[in-house]
Amino acid sequence: MRDLVILGSTGSIGVQALEIVAANPGKFRVVGITSAGNNPAVIIEQAKKFSVGVVGIIHNAELIREALPGVTVIDGQDAAAQVASITCDVVLNAITGSIGLAATVSAIKVGNRLALANKESLVAAGDFVMSLAKPDQIIPVDSEHSAIWQCLMSGKRNEVSRLILTASGGPFRQRKDLSTVTVDEALAHPTWSMGPVISVNSATLVNKAHEIIEAHHLYSMEYSKIEAVIHPQSVIHSMVEFIDGATIAQASPPNMKGPIAYAINWPERLKAATPAMDWKQSHSWEFEPIDHERFPAIELAKRCGELGGGLPAIFNAANEVAVGAFLKGSISFTSIMDCVEQSVQRLGGSTPSAIRDLSDVSAIEQDAHSVAHEILERMVS
C-alpha cells in the first residue's frame, strides 16, 4: 500500500485522484490532504471518508478543527508545504498557481516522489527545482507530459529528434474576433473539464506555453526541439519523433484519470484507470499548425525560456494577474496576452540571470504582479 499526500484535494485533479483511490482499495492510503479551505464542507467530507490524519488549510481552520477531532489541522500560507514534507510514498501536487512552488520544493527536499500537476513550479523555477530533484523523482501528471514520458520509453534520449505536444486549440481556434470572447465562453472547453484558471489558460494557449517550458526542464530538451500542434479531438496526447523518422504517439480518450493514476502508481500501471479506445468505431483525427499571430503565448514563452533567468516567472505571474482580471470581467480576452507581453518587456532587463531560491521567485513575482496591475489599470482607464 502506498502512502499518498494530495495537495489541492478539492480541485479537479485532487477530486479525481481521490476517486482513483476509492476505486482501488488496498492500493493507497491517503495520509494528508490540503485545500485553500474556501469550501470547508468538501475537505471535511474527504478527510472523514478517507480517514486522513493531516489536513492543511488556509481559511476556516477553526471550523475544520471542530469538525475533525483527532485530525491534525495545519493552517496558514505554508500549510501545503508542511503537509508535503510528511514522509510518504507519493505527493500529488495539484495546486493551481505559483503558490504550489513551495510545496514542490518541500516534497523534493525530504525525498518524497512528486506527482506534479502544478505547472507553475517548473515554469517559474524550473532550473532550481530540477537541481534539487533526483532522477525519476518528479513524475508528470499533465496528459501531454505523461504521454511524452511513456513515448520516450521507445528509444534512447540521444535518439530523440523532437517533442510534439498536442493542443485542442481551445474553444476559439476558428473564431475570427477574439476581443469579444466572454468569460462563460472561455470556461466552456470543448474536450476537457477543468477549473476556471486552467480553462482560460487553455483558451489563450498559455497552458501549452507552460507545458513547453515544463518539457524543456523535465526532459532536458532545447526549446528548438519542442513544438506544439493543434489536435482538436484530444486523443493523441503528445508525440516523440526519433532520429530515424519514426514518431511514437500515446493515445487515449480525453480523461485525466489515466495520467493521474499513472503518476501516483508509477512505475506500475493501474488496471482500467481510464476507458480504452474503442477501435471498432470509426475515428477521424485532425492536426493543424498553431496560428501564432492570433495566439502569441507559445512564442513569447519560448523566448522567455530561452533567455531564462526570471523571465518565465514574470510571464507566469503577469498571466495570473491578467487572467484574474478577465474572470472578473475587468478586461477583454485579448488583453490577457497584451498585459503579459508588456510586463515581460517592462521587467525583462532587470530580472536576475538565475533563480537561486524561493525568495528570488517571490521577489520576481511581486514585481511582476505590481507591474501587471499598473498595466491593467491603464487598459481600463
What are the tens digits of pLDDT across the range 97-110?
889 999 999 999 99
Instruction: Quote the pLDDT of residue 75.
Output: 97
- The boundaries of every CATH 1.10.1740.10 domain in the chain are 308-381
pLDDT for 351 equals 79
Residue 26: its pLDDT value, please?
95
Sign of CA dihedral 310, 315, 319, 321: positive
DSSP three-state, residue 361? helix
| Contact in structure between 169 and 286 (CB atoms under 8 Å) | no
> What is 209-278 written as a DSSP string?
HHHHHHHHHHTT--GGGEEEEE-TT--EEEEEEETTS-EEEEE--S-THHHHHHHHHTTSPPTTSSPPP-
Question: Across all residues in the chain, what is the average pLDDT?
Answer: 95
Q: In this model, does residue 92 exceed pLDDT 90? A: yes
Angle between helices 333-347 and 206-218 (to 10 degrees): 40
| Secondary structure letter of residue 112 according to DSSP | -
Q: What is the pLDDT of residue 30?
A: 99
- Provide the CB-side half-sphere exposure for 270 (13 A, CA): 25
**pLDDT score at 301:** 97
- pLDDT tens figures, 338-378: 999 999 999 988 877 889 999 999 999 999 999 999 999 99
Please report the pLDDT score of residue 354 as a whole number. 84
**Residue 189 predicted with pLDDT over 80:** no
Rounded to 10 deg, the angle between the 206-218 and 311-327 helix axes is 150
* pTM for the structure as a whole: 0.93
Residue 279 to residue 253: CA distance in whole angstroms: 12
Measured between alpha carbons, how far is 17 from 9 in angstroms, rounded to an integer? Answer: 8
Question: What is the mean pLDDT of the segment spanning 319-326?
Answer: 96
pLDDT at residue number 359: 94
The pLDDT score that the predictor gives to residue 179 is: 87
Enumerate the CATH 3.40.50.720 domain ranges in the chain, comma separated.
2-140
Report the CATH architecture of 2-140. 3-Layer(aba) Sandwich (3.40)
Query: Is 320's pLDDT higher than 90?
Result: yes
| 187 confidence band (pLDDT: 50, 70, 90) | confident
Query: What cell was used for 15?
Result: 477530486
Percent above pLDDT 70 for the chain: 99
The reported pLDDT for the residue numbered 298 is 97
pLDDT band for position 191 (cuts 50, 70, 90)? low
Are the C-beta atoms of residues 310 and 352 closer than 8 Å to each other?
yes
pLDDT band at 142 (very low <50, low <70, confident <90, very high): very high
**Helices and strands (H, E) in the chain, number of each type:** 15, 11
pLDDT of 62 above 80: yes
CATH code: domain 308-381 is 1.10.1740.10
Q: How far is CA 151 from CA 147, 238, 271, in A?
A: 6, 8, 19
pLDDT for 230 equals: 96
Residue 45 has pLDDT above 70, yes or no: yes
Confidence of residue 160 (pLDDT cuts 50, 70, 90): very high
What 372-378 contacts at long range (C-beta under 8 Å, 24+ apart), as own/partner pairs, is 372/317, 372/318, 372/321, 372/322, 372/339, 372/340, 372/343, 373/321, 375/339, 375/342, 375/343, 375/346, 376/321, 376/322, 376/325, 376/330, 376/331, 376/335, 376/339
What local confidence, expressed as pLDDT, does residue 97 receive? 86
Q: What is the pLDDT of residue 190?
A: 64
- Least confident piece of the model among 194-198, 268-272, 321-325: 194-198
195-254: pLDDT as tens digits:
788 889 989 999 999 999 999 999 999 999 999 999 999 999 999 999 999 999 999 999
pLDDT of residue 193: 62
Judge whether residue 170 has pLDDT over 90: no
